[in-house]
Amino acid sequence: MEKLIDGIHRFQSGVFAPHRGLYEGLVAGQSPSVLFITCSDSRISPSTLTQSEPGELFILRNAGNLVPSWGIHNGAEAAAIEYAVDVLEVRDIIICGHTQCGAMTALLGPPDDLAELPAVANWLKHAEATRRVMRTQYKDVSSKEARLETCIEENVLAQIESLRTHPAVFAALTRGAVSLHAWVYSLETGGVAAFDSEAGQFAPFVDAKREPAKPLTSAKLRSI
């Protein structure tokens, strides 16, 4: 705790005070342009990763960066998505998975491994589509590392489809008000790969000059 309290003191004197104008502006309200959905994993910091300032990202986090489909579990996730799209009018929604994801490792493992973690097992049911894609389309992939890497990518895409079931998102997509982006952050390199809907695959943002990947704007299902 001491480290955190120390950090608060350093934030107040070294960050808040010199940028008082920015923080005073945020008192009146927020107008982030991005809803950033990612894993609860402590190794990802969305603001650091995208070099964003306070007020720029509306962030939704949970184990495995999952988006429960509309109607099944209209809880915190549905509320945050609805508010971001209808009230804040975000223009982009990013679902960002990450390498070495514990939730995806658990999803690929034997169900018995989660016998003592019933809440986690129940939550991972929202990744059932991912589990089935892995079981049916990648059963020949034997390498544990390759399976996990594929599972992480397929899960981001499955959650994008789930996102489309939310009425606020679907309506915003049909009027061209929002774009969807599937990203995977690499803990190993610090790089981010984005799904390119035209190329049908994830490709890294190599450098700042690279053309951004074609976002998933249409409600059309991707072809696998």
Q: Which two tokens stand for residue 220?
A: 């059309």
Q: Quote the distance between the C-alpha of residue 28 and its chain's center.
A: 27
Q: Which two tokens stand for residue 174?
A: 């049909």
Closer CB to Zn ion, 62 or 197, in the complex: 62
CB of 130 to Zn ion, least distance (A): 13
Q: Which two tokens stand for residue 102?
A: 């514990």
Closer CB to Zn ion, 101 or 108, in the complex: 101
Could you say whether residue 182 binds Zn ion (CB under 5 A)?
no
Could you say whether residue 152 binds Zn ion (CB under 5 A)?
no
SS3 211: coil
Helix axis angle, 144-163 to 128-137, nearest 10°: 130
CB of 104 to Zn ion, least distance (A): 7
The number of CA neighbours under 13 Å toward the Cβ of 176 is 0
CB of 101 to Zn ion, least distance (A): 3
Q: Return the residue of 35, 36, 38, 41 that touches Zn ion, per CB under 5 A.
A: 41
Could you say whether residue 148 binds Zn ion (CB under 5 A)?
no
Closer CB to Zn ion, 60 or 173, in the complex: 60
Single out the segment in contact with Zn ion by CB under 5 A; choices: 36-44, 139-147, 166-174, 204-212. 36-44
Closer CB to Zn ion, 78 or 104, in the complex: 104
**Are residues 194 and 213 in contact, defined by beta-carbon separation less than 8 angstroms?**
yes
CB of 97 to Zn ion, least distance (A): 7
- How far is 68 from 28, CA to CA, in rounded Å? 32
Among 105, 99, 95, residue whose Cα is nearest residue 161: 95
Any idea how long the chain is? 224
List active site positions: 39, 41, 43, 98, 101
> CB-based contacts of 129: which residues, under 8 Å, 6+ apart?
158, 161, 162
Per-residue binding string, Zn ion, 89-118, x by CB under 5 A, is ------------x-x---------------
| Residue 203 one-letter amino acid | A
Could you say whether residue 163 binds Zn ion (CB under 5 A)?
no
CB of 151 to Zn ion, least distance (A): 11
Binding region for Zn ion (CB under 5 A): 39, 41, 101, 103
